[in-house]
Amino acid sequence: MNTTSAQFVTTRRIGVYEPIHQISTWGENFKSNSNLNTSSSLILEDTKLDNQSEDASHGTMAPSNQYDQEASKPADKVLRRLAQNREAARKSRLRKKAYVQQLETSRLKLIQLEQELERARHQGLYMAGGLDASHLGFPGTVNSGITAFEMEYGHWMEEQNKQIGDLRTALNAHISDVELRMLVENGLEHYTKFFRMKGSAASADVFYVMSGMWKTSAERFFSWIGGFRPSDLLKVLLPQLDPMTEQQLMEVYNLQQSCQQAEDALTQGMEKLTLTLAETVAAGRLVEDSYLPHVASAMDKLESLVGFVNQADHLRQEALQQMYRILTVRQAARGLLALGEYFQRLRALSSLWATRPREPA
């Protein structure tokens, strides 16, 4: 609809055949995004109207100018072409400006919606007793420890986003090392707080924490024992910390190795736990007995799950502290910023994936 009307009006206004190339390219750009079409066509209408009023005088005078044109054809044509180019360029710039403004507002809107969705979803999800239960519509029991965690998490996330913004500003503004150190230590303390929160939540409902229920889907995908895997994160962050001394590189490499070894040990422990738990549940005669014979034993094993979550969080904490020891203040700030950004991107990816246009069934 855009391109055809543009073509139509242009021909009418100018009165001669002119390449409408510039206008049609912007139209092509807009076709792909239906949201933008409406307002950009409005802008287009405005500029068209403006030009119409400007050129009205030219239009009425066209016939009488024809003879003059024939006499001084080349010069007039050149001047007119230049004027039209200027016009087209001006319109192009205006459209571009409108487009960019649209993008900015859409982006802000997306971030807001994302946050709202997260909050609403988790409240709704947990009130129904979990993702599966809400699918089936079972009213589950409300776990106060978990509701408390979710509320705290909302606040924690707001504070986290603020801290990341502050870090970014600080690094760009080249503040002193002393002030930067304060920001870094605040950031680390904030993570410590989060691990404490998780600890309480694990005591309330270890399955909730193990499954990473408070996270977005992309974050949950990368989850290992209810949180991030330190060695993976180090691999992601390493290139962001350049330049590093050889000593630092060696120390970071050693840290990566240590994390990997600790993770492997914990993973193997988890596998053993999974195996023995399955055996406990299946013990006795499955076909004949309709009850769980070794309930106490099974419950005991579930208790040890809490221990695993705590140990995994402890490992994450120690890895962060060790990084802080290895890096300079500026590197540590960059590292924290990169870490925060990484998770923000994962969350954005989740939203984009969830709202991507799909083929109608």
Partner 1 sequence: MHQAIPYSYKTYFPTTIGLSRDTSTTTTTTTSVADATNVGKLVSENAVIVFGRRGCCMCHVVKRLLQGLGVNPTVSEVDDQDEAAVINQVLKINGVDQESGGQDGSSVQFPVVFVGGKLFGGLERVMATHISGELVPILKEAGALWL
Q: Which residues bind partner 1 (CB under 8 A)?
A: 251, 254-255, 258-259, 261-262, 264-266, 268-273, 275-276, 278-279, 282, 301, 304, 307-308, 311, 314-315, 318-319, 322, 325
Rank residues 128 and 319 by Cβ distance to partner 1 and give the closer one.
Answer: 319
Residue carrying structure tokens 């998780």: 198
| Distance in Å, CB of 97 to partner 1, minimum | 52
Report, in Å, the least distance between residue 290 CB and partner 1.
21
Hey, what are 248's tokens?
A: 């630092």
Alpha carbons 167 and 127: distance in angstroms, whole number: 36
Nearer to partner 1, 169 or 321 (CB): 321
| CB 323 to partner 1: min, Å | 10
Which one, 269 or 293, has the nearer CB to partner 1?
Answer: 269
Structure tokens at 131: 């993702």
Token pair 């997260």 is at which residue?
Answer: 118
Compute how many other C-beta atoms are within 10 angstroms of the C-beta atom of residue 144.
9
Pick from 8, 50, 6: which is nearest to 29 by CA? 6
CB-CB neighbours of 23 under 10 Å: 22
Minimum CB–partner distance for residue 43 and partner 1 (Å): 58
DSSP 25-67: HHHHHHHT-HHHHHHHHHHHHHHHHHHHHHHHHHHHHHHHHHH
Of 30, 22, 138, nearest to 84 by C-alpha is: 22
CB of 320 to partner 1, least distance (A): 10
**Residue closer to partner 1 (CB basis): 231 or 331:** 231
By beta-carbon proximity to partner 1, the closer residue of 319 and 333 is 319
DSSP assignment of 136-191 equals HT------HHHHHHHHHHHHHHHHHHHHHHHHHHHHHHT--HHHHHHHHHHHHHHH
CA–CA distances in Å: residue 11 to residues 4, 179, 291: 11, 63, 84
Closer by beta carbon to partner 1, 308 or else 343: 308
* Residue 327 near residue 248 (C-beta atoms within 8 A): yes
* Residue 36 or 305 having the CB closest to partner 1: 305
Q: Tell me whether residue 176 or residue 268 sits nearer to partner 1 (CB atom).
A: 268
| Closest CB to partner 1 among residues 185, 271 | 271
Supply the minimum distance, in Å, between the C-beta of residue 262 and partner 1: 6
- Nearest approach, Cβ of residue 259 and partner 1 (Å): 7
User: Looking only at Cα atoms, what is the longest distance across the chain?
Assistant: 108
Q: What is the DSSP string of 301-355?
A: HHHHHHHHHHHHHHHHHHHHHHHHHHS-HHHHHHHHHHHHHHHHHHHHHHHHHHT
CA-wise closest residue to 244 among 331, 309, 167: 331
Nearest-approach distance from CB 211 to partner 1, in angstroms = 19
Tell me how far, at minimum, the Cβ of 287 lies from partner 1, in Å: 15
